[in-house]
Homo-oligomer: A and B are copies of this chain.
Amino acid sequence: MSLKHGLLGLLNAGAMTGYELDRSFKRSLSFVWKAQTSQIYRELTAMEAKGWLESQRVVQEEKPNKRLYSITDAGREELNRWLSVPKPDIEKAFDVRNGFLMRVLLAGETTNEEALAMLVAFREKCLQDLSSYGAIYQSIQSSNKTEETAKREKYWMLSAKFGEGQYRAALEWVEEAIDLLRSEENEISRN
């Protein structure tokens, strides 16, 4: 149930609307968890029903009305409970489900050209995503520095760096893989 607990964690730092939570997930939590907008709204409804959250409607004139969610005492208890489960989701940290890799694995059933094209596209994706880490680090650090926020930022930065490391490893892998396939192509054309 990490999505619910992620939302609890964000709301523990201050009240937010569903829209703002969605943007946090998309902008600066994407290396940890990806969620659809519709899912966030559904989870918020479910969490309010459980008593973990309260919401109040904020009427606006220039913009659509919004609903501001805040964490309740029961929500804080649940967050602390989840954070202190002795053996957390370490087993699930590498609980992979990678559709791209599945295609690499099965690329033996197609042509080498198709496989190469796929790897080249993947390299582009890695480069693009890696280039956004500067902005991610900045967005983590930009808040005002109290003792509490400094502690939060430290762990936030750590988990962002995990994501960056995974991308760097992926990039190294794909460059070696492209070299391998290209060198094989040359061998074939020399024969």
Question: A residues engaging B (CB < 8 A)?
Answer: 2, 5-6, 9, 12, 29-34, 79-80, 83-84, 87-110, 114-115, 118, 121-122, 125, 129, 148, 151-156, 158-159, 161-163, 165-170, 172-173, 177, 180
B contact residues around A162 at 8 Å (CB):
101, 104, 170, 173
B contact residues around A122 at 8 Å (CB):
90, 93
**In the complex where A84-B110, A93-B125, A109-B9 touch, is A104 in contact with B170 (Cβ < 8 A)?**
no
Distance (whole angstroms) from the CB of A127 to the closest CB of chain B: 12
Beta-carbon nearest neighbor of A122 in chain B: B90
B contact residues around A161 at 8 Å (CB):
173, 177
In the assembled complex, the Cα of A80 lies from the Cα of B5 at a distance in Å of 40
B contact residues around A87 at 8 Å (CB):
121
Secondary structure of the A contact surface, majority rule: helix
A173 partner, pick from B2, B105, B152, B165, beta carbons under 8 A: B165
Establish whether residues B6 and A106, one from each chain, have CB atoms under 8 Å apart when the complex forms: yes
In the assembled complex, the Cα of A2 lies from the Cα of B102 at a distance in Å of 7
Distance (whole angstroms) from the CB of A96 to the closest CB of chain B: 6
In the assembled complex, the Cα of A151 lies from the Cα of B98 at a distance in Å of 21
Q: How many copies of this chain sit in the oligomeric assembly? A: 2
In the assembled complex, the Cα of A87 lies from the Cα of B88 at a distance in Å of 36
In the assembled complex, the Cα of A9 lies from the Cα of B165 at a distance in Å of 31
In the assembled complex, the Cα of A55 lies from the Cα of B146 at a distance in Å of 64
In the assembled complex, the Cα of A53 lies from the Cα of B168 at a distance in Å of 39
Establish whether residues A159 and B90, one from each chain, have CB atoms under 8 Å apart when the complex forms: no
In the assembled complex, the Cα of A148 lies from the Cα of B109 at a distance in Å of 9
In the assembled complex, the Cα of A92 lies from the Cα of B121 at a distance in Å of 13
In the assembled complex, the Cα of A168 lies from the Cα of B172 at a distance in Å of 12
Establish whether residues B2 and A97, one from each chain, have CB atoms under 8 Å apart when the complex forms: yes
6 residue pairs from A and B, CB less than 8 Å apart = A29-B105, A34-B96, A88-B100, A90-B121, A108-B152, A165-B172
